[in-house]
Amino acid sequence: MTKRDRAPLPHEFHPEVHEFTVTSADLVPGGELGAAQVKAGGDVSPQLRWEGFPEGTKSFAVTCFDPDAPTGSGFWHWVLFDLPVSVTELPAGAGSGKFEGLPSGAVHVRNDYGTKDFGGAAPPAGERHRYVFTVYAVDRERLGPGKDASPAVVGFHLRFHALGRAQLIGEYEAPAS
């Protein structure tokens, strides 16, 4: 980011829900994203593991959002939902490439790159952006929107069906040109 104020985090406008924990072998909270999670480094989704989600959870959703993108509406890097409640970990790369480790029935919708997978960090040269990885505990097995829904429609459904939320924020600064 330049000297302007940072954008609010996406959940600052959502109802309060149960907080649980998400960890990653690939991300340190508040730390720099690894080269694999950068657009130029391979677009590899990070390993994620979660626990402590609320009773009544029937599925999960995972998103990655950049609130600092110079778009006026942020930038969606990853939108995945309908993960079975039995899945509490995604290996690195589950959201990219051959989707190895992604359970059957999970749904990817288009990110803001226009692809249905994880798209890595690519802020403008010299800007530092935050990447908010969120795991949602959902109150239904199928969230509702179809595979052609926009990230905003998925977010709308999550607002009303999230029982809990866990987030992990990494940062990345693109080299100045």
pLDDT number for residue 84: 98
**Local confidence band at 177 (pLDDT 50, 70, 90 cut-offs):** confident
pLDDT number for residue 121: 97
**Is 5 a domain residue?**
no
pTM for this structure?
Answer: 0.95
pLDDT of 67-107, one tens digit each? 999 998 999 999 999 999 999 999 999 999 899 999 999 99
**Is 147 a domain residue?**
yes
pLDDT at 41 over 70: yes
Residue 42 CB-density burial (10 A; 0-12 exposed, 13-18 middle, 19+ buried): middle
pLDDT of 123-161, one tens digit each? 999 999 999 999 999 999 999 999 999 999 999 999 999
**Is 28 a domain residue?**
yes
**Is 52 a domain residue?**
yes
Q: Considering the chain, what percentage of its residues have pLDDT values greater than 90?
A: 86
CATH of the domain at 42: 3.90.280.10
**Is 2 a domain residue?**
no
pLDDT at 7 over 80: yes
**Is 114 a domain residue?**
yes
Handedness of CA 69, 73, 74, 77 (dihedral sign): negative
pLDDT of 23-39, one tens digit each? 999 999 999 999 999 99
**Local confidence band at 4 (pLDDT 50, 70, 90 cut-offs):** low
Q: Which domain holds residue 108?
A: 10-173
Closest CA to 21 of 170, 176, 118, 164: 164
The residue with greater pLDDT, 113 or 1, is: 113
DSSP string, 99-149: -TTPPTT-EE---TTSSSS---B-PPTT-EEEEEEEEEEESSSS-S--TT-
Coarse DSSP helix, strand, coil percentages of the chain, rounded to the nearest 5 percent:
10, 30, 55
CA–CA distance, 173 with 33 (Å, rounded to integer) = 9
pLDDT number for residue 72: 87
Counted domains in the chain? 1
Average pLDDT over the chain reads 94
**Is 96 a domain residue?**
yes
Beta-sheet pairing, 162-173 with 18-19: parallel
Listed in sequence order, the DSSP H helices in the chain are 151-161
**Is 3 a domain residue?**
no
CA–CA distance, 137 with 150 (Å, rounded to integer) = 20
